Structure 1
Amino acid sequence: MARFTVVDLETTGNAPLKNDRIIEVGIVIWEDGEVVEEFSSLVYPEQDIPPFITNLTGITNEHVENAPLFSEIAPEIHKMFTGAYIVAHNIQFDLGFLNKEFVRCGLNALNNPVIDTVELARILLPQSPGFKLGQLAEQLHVQHNDPHRALSDAKVTVDLLAYLFQKFTMLPLVTLQQLLEIESPLKSDLRNLLMDEISRKMYSDQENHEVVMVHGLAVKATAPKSENEHEVPDSFGDYLDQLFLSGNGLASIINDYEYREGQRTMAETVYDAFTSQEHALIEAETGTGKSLAYLIPAVYYAVTNRKRVVISTFTTQLQRQLLEKEIPQVKKLFSHPFEIALLKGKEHYISTLRFSKELKEGSRDNYDIILSKAMLLVWLTETITGDIDEIQLPSSGKYLWNRISTDQEEAEETWSKANKDSFYRKARSHAEKADIIITNHSLLCTDLTLEHAFMPDFHHLIVDEAHHLETTASKYFGLHMDYGLWQNYFNQLEALYTAKQSAWSGKMMEIVNENIPIYKQLKEDLDSLFRYLFQLVLANNKKRKDRSDVGRVQFTYQHNKIKPKQLSTIQEMVQRISFAVNQLDRGMEALNAHLEAENILTDSTNSDFIEITAFVQKLKQINGELHQYLLDDEEEEVKWLEIDAMGAHNSVYLYSEPINVAERLKHSLFEAKDSIILTSATLTMKHSFRYITDRLGITDLKPLQVKIPSPYPFADQVQLMVPNDFPDIKSDQTEFIHATCEAIYSMAQITEGRMLVLFTSYDMLKKTYELLREIILPEEFMLFAQGITSGSRERLKKNFQAFDQSILLGTSSFWEGVDIPGDDLSCLMIVRLPFQPPNHPVYQARADRLKQNGKNAFMEQSLPHAVIRFKQGFGRLIRSSTDRGIVFVCDQRLIHARYGKYFIESIPEVPLEIDSTAKLMEKAQEWL
């Protein structure tokens, strides 16, 4: 086996070119599977160590005061790399620092073969939730005693490398050969390692029986499902007694199980609604255990009545929780075999047919695309679903995915005999046989808009996170289009034309070339239209007051708001685009006629023709949508355009939503199904379900309505505090932000960080973050902010939890679904009550409609929405029976406005403290 020198460095910063320096070196030499040498030394960096680095590593200026200069240890270190692979977790970082220092000391820069364990882990562990060294160590159960210290990190990197090499030996021969064909652009020098393993496998009799070949790809073989032979209890009541009251039920599978009356009540309500064919709304507050409470009766009803039950969630996070936690628990509890299927849209599943073609035809791929291909090759040997949500492709990987998802297959390909092993086909087939189907609101609502149902027939549905159903339905009953959508189809169509030219006959190329000028003209016409729309938005919103929650400039698109000359210009442009699309379509018909007349429809040309035709058909479809959007003036729809004022001048986003989604939901969903259960922790305002039933169009259907309170002792766990001395934000936003920052800083000192601060506006979050950066020292608190600190919501949450004293600023998605239990969160600060922006086109249109019908738009729409959002935010603090903390609301409307009581009376009853900010801080200190 080769020699590997594994290195890890701690430094004063991330950029050697900006004169950041090394403060610690850790090296481990690994050979023939054994550690043969170790080296560790602190280094005097000839500059101060920043507080952030000290906070991260524990290395202080005092620690390195008497340490050697790098030049003193450079010769010894340089020799350790002789004849070895250089290995590091993020090789460019460590090698960049080392070579800068070696050159500074008069030594040659290292030019050895390298292995980057970040890259290698991404390829060989594609389903890992993260690729930081600590995350991988935790996942692989590798002991990591001293994170962010050089030698400790180097030792863990050796263990990781050993594990990854072991994974190499388990890959099928064909996967190794395909990796060899694409490996050259990767950072790691894998060629020799791959060739050695390929040679070993070629001369070995060992077969991999865990994979099958599909379109030339090694894909994990699906194991047969085991069957359980026990019988179902006689009655649902007996079954619940067994689950909730006997030692063989929930108590046998849940640690420290406590009986919850609300959980049983909810289970009974779901079952009763199913059996009596009624709809039901169930608000189940935090701690109810609602997932098990609806899964248990759903499974029982589905199996005993042989009727499928569909469960729809809003977030993939809840889907994962159901599949990984609650469903395995129910399987242990339920004595009869049952089938569960997860079903998503076609765009979620990989097409092995398309990926196989992409591997054969791919050229000029950038690094991200090559890395994505390598990850997918390994993932195919592991996945049984083919669902892209299992892995995290690099940023540009989404462009590859757009070409290889099942969404890009045509019906002929999807259901052809040659494609019988399609992951999408298997998912659909599994769903057809399943007792329980888990899906999402998006697919559920998409299904309602299709002429032919996508999902298998069902009549019993549970909608979890049901407060999102109206918003999701509104989105899917409407339209979202932008120039990028057209651009994507154009680019793929152009790539196909280019790739196929050499394989086509002269006559075929003649037909194709006649249509390329039309295609190019189409691109130009479309670019002109979107640029015109961009200027239209700017002209009608000169002050750029109306903005979306992500800062885009908005304009409500109605014919009576546009000058006749502008409308005439748009009409002319749209008609030019329609003419070009139709001519492109006629060209494809001519090509088809030629292929049939000459009887030259080989498998290859037929496949190419289907692929190109598919793109042209999609262009026809979105052209029809564009035509309808811009030229038809629909009274029942609200349409609006959004632009990035500082972005590309053809970057225009077109949106539409129905003004009244209630009637459509009532007709297509609630009147079409026997029983629908809507559940969430937040469905009521002041204990009334009226708002949600009106929004969903089911008030006159008289659904069952059950409110299940939390079993947690909120009165002992939470203090609600509202200052009475905050400046009026309407008078002076700057003063309000200053007061907010002072309150955050004061409270953080009391709670030792551990604060989540929720905003309703990204602009205010950004201004608050900038001011806090000025008043908070880095060694005091770590400050994380959504949209400013890099990373996803989940990554920000984990970073927040990783530091002892940290503050997290969030907006939008942080108001719900963020679970930070225990001591990690002691204070939730709500800066403003979460009212929708009154200038949003959908809000305005629905408010106008309510006023026309003689209703109060604020009481009927704005206030209930804000109250439910407030309840979601409030729910971030208490996630278990032992959590304890403060909810601090900066918005004095909670106590001064007449509607404030709606917010207070909609959350669990907790002590309310109203006082000056200074007095509240004293009370917080005393209470905590």
Structure 2
Amino acid sequence: MRFSRLSTPTRLDCTGVAVYINRVMQDIFSSNPNEIPELHSAPVFYPHGSHLIWISENGEIAELDRTALSHKLGQKTVLLCHRRWSSARAGTDIARALDIMELFAFVRPARFCLPTPVGLASQLGLARPQSGDAMAALLPQIAFMLLDELAGAPPPARKEAGEIAAMMTAGGWTWGPIVLSHLGLAPQKPEPPDGRNAAIWNRLPEYTDYTPQIDPGTQPVLPDAARERLQDMLGHSAEMRESQSDYAAAIAASFDRPDAGPAPTLVLAEAGTGTGKTLGYLAPASLWAEKNGAAVWISTYTRTLQHQIAAELTRLYPNAETHAQKVVLRKGRENYLCLLNLEEALGTMPGQPRNATALGLMARWAGATSDGDLTGASFPAWLMDLLGRAQTVGLADRRGECVHAACAHYNKCFVEKSTRSAKRADIVVTNHALVMIHAAYASNDDRRRPTRYVFDEGHHVFDAADSAFSAYLSAGETAELRHWIRGAEDGRRGRARGLKRRLEDLIAGDDAAKADLEAALEFARDLPGQGWQKRLSAFQPMGPAEAFFMHVRNSLYARAADPESQYDLQSELHPASDDLLTSANEFADRLHHLLVPLNNLAKRLKALLDDKVDELDSAARARIEGAIRGLELRAAGPVNAWQLMLGDVRDGQRDGFVDWLQIDRIEGQDRDVGYARHWLDPTIPFTAEVLDGAHGVAITSATLQDYAQPKRSQAEKEAATKDSARDNTVAADGWASALALTGAAHLAHPTLRAAFSSPFDYANQTRIFVVNDVVRDRPSATAAAMAGLMQASGGGALGLFTAVRRLKAVHPDLLARLEAAGLPLYAQHIDKMNLQTLLQMFREEAESCLLGTDAVRDGIDVPGAALRMIVFDRMPWPRSDLLFQARAKWQGRDAWTERLARLKLRQAFGRLIRRDTDRGVFVMLDSRLPTRLTTAFPPDVEVQRVGLAEAIARTRDFLGE
């Protein structure tokens, strides 16, 4: 147990703290902390669209306006569903509430549920409520069912729940007295919450597998074997589609012998929606892993697809235990709950009692989850909305402060479990960013480096590489580095663990290493410290780093065409002002002084591994290796890049890179200021760090190719390619784009290419309308147009906006129109729910509609009738920032602009049809869609340019058939 510091406030004189806690609870319960709110007579509030439904203590149902509602909410503790969403719909903050989603999270931790009465009814086996009044009336019944379920749990479960509930009640949890009563426990005394009640890690199982990795075998997977494995996965009674079988055989080429030809064997495979590409590449991948005793890494761009791929593998591994051994999800450690962070946060509660509710619910979740994944299926994303980021996803190790084997929870750690499991897995399902970082920081002889990859969502490889291999020298980033090195400063308490705490016992007895550690701690003082934002705006910087960022800020404000813009400010770096040049030189000198001891520490830790090979056990070696990776990833790597960048302020633009100055803004408020550097072509480092170190790679997507001209017939293709060599310099049709954006163009040997058309009958399953008579600049016109189209589709419609401000302007009118038609509307940036929760609600309610930004198209997978219409408010042209302008100059402005726009249109259209029985309508409310960009759509679907009334009528006729 690591709660010794709790003894001071709880065992000694705590009168002042107890008085404070009592006051907190009186604020919540309006009387005394032992009073149990009367759930039977609690008023109920539920917003159904813009209808604000209120059920009084006497059971009378009424619809209130916002003024009357605000008055009632100020008087009573109200029963509701999702407080933040309800507050947003009510237009007022709801301070005192019994939020039924908190109760659900406590009673059924790590269980999926939509945060609506409909979702709760589904989970509890109740009939689906059909009206807003019925939804509101159902909430008390759901509450009592959950409480009865908790009371009927086995004794050990009730004991654990009671201990955590007692802690939460002491911190002011509104449900606390009710929960304790149903558990048969006495009311709480007015004292600080005791975090030891939530020490959930005491019963978590340990995971001590340190399976060493071995070199992979060299057995190939032949095309016929891939076809056979695919048939096994589908089931021998299922008919295998020829295109899917051919696709699996094509992917098998990336699983040939390492010496079969130049490495890596790179396969670019485009498989139209519905081909069945997930099973198509999993077939040869799983077969190769079994034959060669090593993992294949399957990489995606979105987390949603990661979980879908893992689910697909239940076909091959139906036994849950076998599946857990063979298939592992790998994400960055910032995605997993850190048990030490949870423990330390619980330890602060005597002084921060209001955190007890959030931390208690997180402890309940930690005890129920199998993977600790804060972005996975077991974590209700709406908890982050209810409890805030700091006490939910903020409990992950987001700063690289892990102490590895020195942590008391090391063998229970969710991150360690994932990492160790991946060493003996057959399939590791990960994401593009982690693959690139993993490869970049693995040494050439590191056995952790995979040799076989499949990149799904391959059209995003360019963007992922652009992010992974960029550098940002900003005040916020350097302040984070100071925090990482020095930990909490100036007497402030916090969970930050500085470099000294992480390393001091590892280097005990090494005086030189201790000296390097002290030097690093001292030179880190030159980085921005607490309060840097105020000092920069007041022109009172402390130290060379803050002086540099102050001059960056001054340059930006002097050069910006619109300094009052709501969006990020950017300007070219060169020519740099004299002040910026001088401060850059001084800052670079101080960074050099910091870099030397950090590099020395990494070298000394590597020497420790070599010098004590006969003394260090696996856990100790893992800890030292983790410390080395931390120094390279969090410190030495960025500092090296920053030094080069500062030198180029003086020396000029470096070839192959794009540099600029930037102020990051959120809703018009400055949040960070810095100097950005991106590769002009980020597939250069991707090729060097990932492709060149692999034996075989497949990059696949439904949208790899880009057609600037209408697609040719098969006869035309054959005539055009009859005498051409199949290499990287002669590209038929749309492959030029794929070669340029995947790194294939940087390989010295040919790339294998294969394309498989979608089996869907798009001509009969879809319609495409370009509406030519809607006034784009009038929000009410856009709202009326979308409402008419969405009513014609009967819901199931996704409205995509290219700007948040237009979404917000259209929303009120559209909400009123759809509500009158009985269609629910959800909206990103308006409803106080995260996007994943909104997508889940949209997916489950087939008649609902959803508004979001253009970026929503990448994260949505809604098969069936739940998505039958997509409406763009405007053409999704790419934003013309400095990086875009540089790449447009490199590739040709029209070609680059139109390529990105076509990709967005093609991706969005691909969301509509996911099954043979799906039908969908794609609508563009912008007559400026150029005909040349319609090559983004299937060639057999006519793009109809019509008026709004005709688009509505044709939509109603088509979807009503």
- Give the drift of 1:296: 1.8
2:504 is matched with: none
2:204 is matched with: 219
Aligned length in residues? 785
Contact 1:755 1:807 in 2 (8 A): yes
2:918 is matched with: 883
2:803 is matched with: 761
Change (3 A) 1:366 1:320: farther
Task: Give distance in 1, aligned partners of 2:877 and 2:266.
Answer: 29
Change (3 A) 1:221 1:556: same
1:122 is matched with: 105
Amino acid at match of 1:902: T
- Give the drift of 1:468: 0.8
Contact 2:547 2:583 in 1 (8 A): no
- Give the drift of 1:791: 2.1
Contact 2:771 2:927 in 1 (8 A): yes
Match of 1:872 among 899, 903, 907: 907
Task: Give distance in 1, aligned partners of 2:131 and 2:155.
Answer: 29
Contact 1:556 1:639 in 2 (8 A): no
1:35 is matched with: none
- Give the drift of 1:668: 2.1
Amino acid at match of 1:540: R
Query: Which structure 1 segments of 5+ residues have no match?
Result: 27-39, 53-69, 71-77, 97-110, 201-212, 225-231, 587-606, 728-732, 851-855
- Give the drift of 1:220: 4.2
Task: Give distance in 2, aligned partners of 1:286 and 1:743.
Answer: 29
SS at match of 1:833: coil
2:555 is matched with: 536
Task: Give distance in 1, aligned partners of 2:375 and 2:659.
Answer: 31
Amino acid at match of 1:836: P
Matching of residue 394 in structure 1 with residue 389 in structure 2: no
2:863 is matched with: 821
Task: Give distance in 1, aligned partners of 2:586 and 2:53.
Answer: 64
Task: Give distance in 2, aligned partners of 1:827 and 1:647.
Answer: 33
1:914 is matched with: 945
1:105 is matched with: none
Match of 1:467 among 459, 475, 483: 459
Match of 1:841 among 848, 861, 882: 882
Contact 1:522 1:581 in 2 (8 A): no
Please give the TM-score of this superposition, normalised by the length of structure 2: 0.70
Contact 2:767 2:941 in 1 (8 A): yes
1:552 is matched with: 567
Change (3 A) 1:744 1:376: closer
Q: Which piece of structure 1 moves more, 335-344 or 861-870?
A: 335-344
1:61 is matched with: none
Task: Give distance in 2, aligned partners of 1:309 and 1:522.
Answer: 43
SS at match of 2:865: helix
1:477 is matched with: 469
Tell me the alpha carbon deviations over residues 101-160 of structure 1, each in whole angstroms, 9 at most, x when there is no partner: xxxxxxxxxx9xx97543233334342344444323323445555674254332222112
Q: Where do 1:762-801 residues align within 5 Å?
A: 762-769=804-811, 772=814, 778=820, 781-800=823-842
Change (3 A) 1:366 1:352: same
2:365 is matched with: 379
- Give the drift of 1:499: 5.5
- Give the drift of 1:814: 1.8
2:760 is matched with: 712
Amino acid at match of 1:909: D
Amino acid at match of 2:648: D
Task: Give distance in 2, aligned partners of 1:274 and 1:332.
Answer: 25
Change (3 A) 1:380 1:747: closer
- Give the drift of 1:875: 1.2
Match of 1:424 among 415, 423, 442: 415
Contact 2:117 2:138 in 1 (8 A): no
Change (3 A) 1:234 1:144: same
Tell me the alpha carbon deviations over residues 825-860 of structure 1, each in whole angstroms, 9 at most, x when there is no partner: 3332234333312x222211222334xxxxx3422x
Match of 2:681 among 660, 684, 694: 660
Change (3 A) 1:242 1:137: same
1:42 is matched with: 60
Match of 1:263 among 220, 244, 261: 244
SS at match of 1:268: helix
Amino acid at match of 1:125: R
Change (3 A) 1:918 1:617: closer
Task: Give distance in 1, aligned partners of 2:281 and 2:555.
Answer: 50
Contact 2:299 2:456 in 1 (8 A): yes
Task: Give distance in 2, aligned partners of 1:778 and 1:386.
Answer: 43
SS at match of 1:428: helix
SS at match of 1:644: strand
Q: Where do 1:555-570 residues align within 5 Å?
A: 555-560=570-575, 562-570=576-584
2:450 is matched with: 458
Task: Give distance in 2, aligned partners of 1:738 and 1:624.
Answer: 52
2:305 is matched with: 318
Contact 2:800 2:852 in 1 (8 A): yes
Tell me the alpha carbon deviations over residues 475-512 of structure 1, each in whole angstroms, 9 at most, x when there is no partner: 110124654445556678336855699xx9xxx9xx99
Task: Give distance in 2, aligned partners of 1:876 and 1:174.
Answer: 45
Amino acid at match of 1:670: L
Query: Which structure 2 segments of 5+ residues have no match?
Result: 1-35, 88-95, 187-197, 210-218, 259-264, 502-513, 533-541, 601-622, 708-732
Task: Give distance in 2, aligned partners of 1:760 and 1:778.
Answer: 26
- Give the drift of 1:49: 11
Amino acid at match of 1:848: K
Task: Give distance in 1, aligned partners of 2:867 and 2:947.
Answer: 24
Percent of aligned positions that are identical:
20
Q: Where do 1:566-715 residues align within 5 Å?
A: 566-572=580-586, 626-633=642-649, 634-640=654-660, 641-644=662-665, 647-649=668-670, 651-652=672-673, 654-686=675-707, 688-699=734-745, 701-715=749-763
Matching of residue 902 in structure 1 with residue 935 in structure 2: yes
- Give the drift of 1:925: 4.1
SS at match of 1:849: helix
Task: Give distance in 1, aligned partners of 2:562 and 2:78.
Answer: 55
Task: Give distance in 1, aligned partners of 2:338 and 2:284.
Answer: 36
Contact 2:46 2:86 in 1 (8 A): no
Task: Give distance in 2, aligned partners of 1:183 and 1:667.
Answer: 56
- Give the drift of 1:698: 0.9
Change (3 A) 1:223 1:252: farther
Task: Give distance in 2, aligned partners of 1:901 and 1:517.
Answer: 54
Matching of residue 287 in structure 1 with residue 281 in structure 2: no
SS at match of 2:170: coil
Amino acid at match of 1:429: R
Tell me the alpha carbon deviations over residues 185-218 of structure 1, each in whole angstroms, 9 at most, x when there is no partner: 2423637966997999xxxxxxxxxxxx999633
Change (3 A) 1:273 1:385: same
Contact 2:457 2:700 in 1 (8 A): yes
Amino acid at match of 1:743: A
Amino acid at match of 2:899: P
Q: Which piece of structure 1 moves more, 150-159 or 626-635?
A: 626-635
- Give the drift of 1:695: 1.9
2:611 is matched with: none
Change (3 A) 1:355 1:763: closer
Match of 1:345 among 325, 328, 332: 332
1:136 is matched with: 120
Task: Give distance in 2, aligned partners of 1:672 and 1:722.
Answer: 47
Task: Give distance in 1, aligned partners of 2:349 and 2:45.
Answer: 40
1:596 is matched with: none
Change (3 A) 1:493 1:166: farther
Amino acid at match of 1:127: A
Task: Give distance in 2, aligned partners of 1:768 and 1:413.
Answer: 50
Tell me the alpha carbon deviations over residues 221-252 of structure 1, each in whole angstroms, 9 at most, x when there is no partner: 6799xxxxxxx9998736745864xxx86257
1:493 is matched with: 487
1:734 is matched with: 777
Change (3 A) 1:916 1:24: closer
Amino acid at match of 1:632: D
- Give the drift of 1:531: 4.6
Task: Give distance in 2, aligned partners of 1:636 and 1:830.
Answer: 35
Contact 1:447 1:455 in 2 (8 A): no
Task: Give distance in 2, aligned partners of 1:92 and 1:24.
Answer: 16
Q: Which piece of structure 1 moves more, 699-708 or 354-363?
A: 354-363
Task: Give distance in 1, aligned partners of 2:551 and 2:671.
Answer: 8
